[in-house]
């Protein structure tokens, strides 16, 4: 029984962590640059 709750809790921590990573990646994609202060200066096409 003791092992059971540890197994499920550990699994829960892993799943939540994986979910947070996915959310973070998605939020970055949507939001774009969050730190460049609008001074984004792409390299012009050659």
Partner 1 sequence: MPAAAPASDLRTDKATRESVFALVGNPNCGKSTIFNALTGLKQKVANYPGVTVEKREGTCFNQHGKRIHLIDLPGTYSLNVHSPDEAVVRDVLLGRRADTPRPDAVILITDASNIERNLYLATQVLELGLPTLLVLNMTDVAEAKQWRIDVGKLSQRLGVSVVPMQATFGKGLVELKAAMSKLGSADFQPVSSNVHPARPSASGNELEARSPSQAGSLCHLPIPPDILGGLQQTRADLIRSGTVSENVSLLEPLYLISDHDPAHYGIEDSLVNRLAAAHDVLEKKLPGWEDRLAASRYEAVEKLLLDVLRRPERDESTTTDRLDSVFLHPIWGGVCMAAIMLAVFYMIFSVAEGPMDWIDKITGSTSGWIEANMPAGDLRDLIANGIIVGVGGIVKFLPQILMLFFLIGMMEDTGYMARVAFIMDKFMGRVGLNGRSFVPFFSSYACAVPGIMATRTIASPKDRLITILIAPLASCSARLPVYTLMIAAMFPANGVSTLQKASLMLSMYVLGTGGAFAFAWLFNSTMAKGRSSLMVLEMPTYKRPSLRHVARYMLERAKMFLVRAGTVILGLSILLWAAKTYPKPGTPEPADTAAKVAYRSSQLSHSFAGRAGHFIEPVIKPLGFDWKIGIGLISSFAAREFFVSTMGIIYAVEDDGDDNVEPLKQKLAEDRWPDGRPIFTPLACLSLMVFYVFAMQCLSTVAVVKRETNGWKWPIFQIAYMTAAAWLASFVVYQGGRLLGF
Binding positions for partner 1, rule: CB under 8 A: 2-3, 5-7, 9-11, 13-14, 17-18, 20-21, 28, 32-44, 46
Q: Which helix (H) or strand (E) element contains residue 22?
A: helix 2-31
Nearest distance, CB of residue 44 and partner 1, angstroms:
4
Distance CA 40, CA 20 (A): 27
Closer Cβ to partner 1, 26 or 33, answer by number: 33
Do 23 and 29 meet the contact criterion of CB atoms below 8 Å apart? no
Nearest distance, CB of residue 14 and partner 1, angstroms:
4
């Amino acid at each position: 029984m003791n092992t059971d709750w540890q197994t499920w809790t550990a699994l829960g921590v892993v799943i939540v962590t994986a979910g947070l990573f996915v959310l973070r990646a998605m939020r970055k994609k949507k939001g774009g640059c969050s730190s460049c202060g609008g001074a984004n200066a792409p390299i012009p096409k050659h």
